[in-house]
Amino acid sequence: MSLFSISCCLRQGELKDRFNLTEEDIERIPYENGDILNFIHSEGFQFECTIRTENFFSSTQEACEDYFENEVFSAFFESDIPSLNIELQLSKFIGGDSTFFGISSDFTSFILEQQSPQIIIINGVEYNDVETYFSSNETYFIENILYNSTIGILKINYKDNSYVEILP
């Protein structure tokens, strides 16, 4: 005797709602596709980083069920030496009431320090409203990332006390 099951949908799932990012949400990541940023390493060498952006909708759809979609916007930092491999991501939560902002690198997420924001000076330029994001992985080589929603990533501090800073 053989047993088998057949799964079929009597109807296709229906999109119930789509939650879009607002222009104000998207401004939290101040980069456009193709932007070139200039950084300097603590050892003195300068390098460029190119920004690649993606915008798409993520779905909760499973099988035949009705579903929701939420918009996702990501900015990826691409550089050869050093390889930054950093992603900034925004997504609208289902329900549309709030927006998630996150920083990650090599599948390691960074967590906003509760004492943020602060004022810092980098290469003689003062930056306000700077947030500090700490690595969620104690063994990861990046200790923290300093971020400003108007300028973007300002500084990346490594566990070996080296760092990368934006050039004005």
- Please say if the pLDDT value at position 76 is more than 70: yes
Q: What is the pLDDT of residue 9?
A: 64
Q: Which residue has the higher pLDDT, 156 or 9?
A: 156
pLDDT in tens, 20-54: 899 999 999 999 999 999 999 999 999 999 999 99
**Mean pLDDT score, 5-22:** 75
Q: Tokens 């190119």 identify what position?
A: 50
Q: What is the pLDDT of residue 82?
A: 81
CA distance linking residue 39 with residue 22, whole number of Å: 30
pLDDT in tens, 88-134: 999 987 776 788 899 999 889 999 988 768 999 998 999 999 999 99
Cα dihedral value 115, 86, 42, 36, nearest 10? -110
Per-residue pLDDT band for 155 (boundaries 50, 70, 90) equals: very high
- Are the beta carbons of 155 and 145 closer than 8 angstroms? yes
- Please say if the pLDDT value at position 157 is more than 80: yes
Q: What is the pLDDT of residue 4?
A: 47
**Mean pLDDT score, 158-165:** 96
Q: Tokens 């390098």 identify what position?
A: 47
Q: What is the pLDDT of residue 59?
A: 81
Average pLDDT over the chain, rounded to an integer = 88
